[in-house]
């Protein structure tokens, strides 16, 4: 029986109007890095984000990797604040379904590869944080523990006191599916941007997710 769900945040619950990852990096992040004497091309940066290179790779540039990622995350928070000011962070119209999932007695967690502060900021923009029992952004003590690594998902399971078979991982990306499966959960792909191979279930809206969990059977906590 289902007792809880773990959600991705960006592009699952909220989105950024006109966002382009390369443009964000080159316009926002790279100038800040250069002020710290670091010149890291986008392709290499992308490999560290996607898991092709460890996040500690940047230490060959002469900076502690934790400090490097803190710089990136501080820039990302400034970016999100500016996008919010401009009205360019949006919540998807179906996020009210989170309230229905809570009314069904399910435990909810939010897990993001963004920093804790960035994750909480965007959830607070739309008063979504209150739906979740726990919210986890990246952990600086284990920077390679971001999705598709299952570390953050397992951390959420432990906090919710759920066995893997009692939960679902819900997200839009392959990283969400892989992280969920590696943690032993069934996975739900929200197909806002197309289907991701390997998910156990597919829904086009969070209201369809509510229908799915009702059919699966719910054990109230």
In the structure encoding, which two tokens stand for residue 139, read together? 């952990």
Residues 64 and 114 placed together within one structural domain of the fold: no
d(CA 128, CA 96): 9
Residues 119 and 155 placed together within one structural domain of the fold: yes
Number of domains the chain is built from: 2
Residues 71 and 103 placed together within one structural domain of the fold: no
pLDDT tier at 220 (50, 70, 90 boundaries)?
Answer: low
Residue pair 162/185 in contact by the 8 Å Cβ criterion: no
Please report the pLDDT score of residue 54 as a whole number: 96
Residue 221 in any domain: the answer is: no
Residue 115 in any domain: the answer is: yes
Residues 101 and 26 placed together within one structural domain of the fold: no
Domain boundary at 85, 102, 124, which? Answer: 85
Q: Tens digit of pLDDT for each residue in 92-150?
A: 999 999 999 999 999 999 999 999 999 999 999 999 999 999 999 999 999 999 999 99
Residues 211 and 153 placed together within one structural domain of the fold: yes
d(CA 44, CA 175): 19
Q: How far is CA 79 from CA 83, 105, 165, 198, in A?
A: 6, 35, 38, 33
What's the order of all strands across the beta sheet hosting 201-203? 134-136, 107-111, 4-7, 167-171, 186-190, 201-203
The CATH number for 107's domain is: 3.40.50.1000
Whole-number CA gyration radius for the chain? 17
Q: Rounded to the nearest 5 degrees, what angle is found at the Cα of 23, between the Cα atoms of 179 and 89? A: 65
Residue 190 in any domain: the answer is: yes
Domain boundary at 85, 115, 137, which? Answer: 85
Sign of torsion over alpha carbons 122, 191, 143, 157: positive
Residues 203 and 115 placed together within one structural domain of the fold: yes
pTM for this prediction: 0.96
pLDDT tier at 218 (50, 70, 90 boundaries)?
Answer: confident
Residues 100 and 206 placed together within one structural domain of the fold: yes
CB atoms within 10 A of CB 34: 11
Residues 191 and 138 placed together within one structural domain of the fold: yes
Residues 193 and 105 placed together within one structural domain of the fold: yes
- Phi, psi (deg, nearest 5) at residue 148: -85, 0
Residue 151 in any domain: the answer is: yes
d(CA 193, CA 11): 9
Q: Tens digit of pLDDT for each residue in 19-47?
A: 999 999 999 999 999 999 999 999 999 99
Domain boundary at 70, 85, 100, which? Answer: 85
Domain range for 184: 4-15+92-216
Residues 128 and 211 placed together within one structural domain of the fold: yes
- Phi, psi (deg, nearest 5) at residue 161: 60, 50
Residues 80 and 96 placed together within one structural domain of the fold: no
Q: Tens digit of pLDDT for each residue in 153-169?
A: 999 999 999 999 999 99
């Amino acid at each position: 029986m289902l007792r809880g769900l773990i959600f991705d945040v960006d592009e699952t619950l909220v989105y950024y109007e006109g966002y382009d990852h390369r443009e964000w990096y080159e316009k926002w992040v790279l100038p800040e890095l250069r002020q710290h004497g670091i010149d890291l091309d986008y392709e290499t940066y992308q490999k560290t984000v996607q898991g092709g290179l460890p996040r500690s790779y940047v230490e060959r540039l002469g900076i502690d990797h934790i400090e490097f990622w803190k710089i990136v995350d501080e820039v990302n928070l400034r970016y999100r604040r500016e996008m919010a000011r401009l009205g360019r962070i949006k919540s998807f119209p179906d996020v009210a379904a989170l309230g229905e999932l809570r009314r069904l007695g399910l435990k909810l967690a939010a897990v993001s590869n963004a920093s804790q502060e960035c994750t909480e900021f965007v959830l607070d923009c739309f008063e979504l944080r209150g739906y979740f029992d726990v919210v986890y952004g990246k952990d600086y003590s284990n920077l390679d523990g971001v999705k598709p690594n299952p570390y953050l998902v397992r951390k959420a399971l432990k906090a919710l006191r759920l066995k893997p078979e009692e939960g679902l991982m819900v997200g839009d990306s392959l990283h969400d599916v892989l992280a969920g499966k590696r943690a032993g959960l069934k996975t739900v792909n929200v197909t806002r941007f197309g289907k991701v191979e390997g998910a156990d279930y597919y829904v086009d809206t969070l209201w369809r997710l509510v229908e799915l969990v009702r059919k699966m059977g719910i054990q109230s906590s």
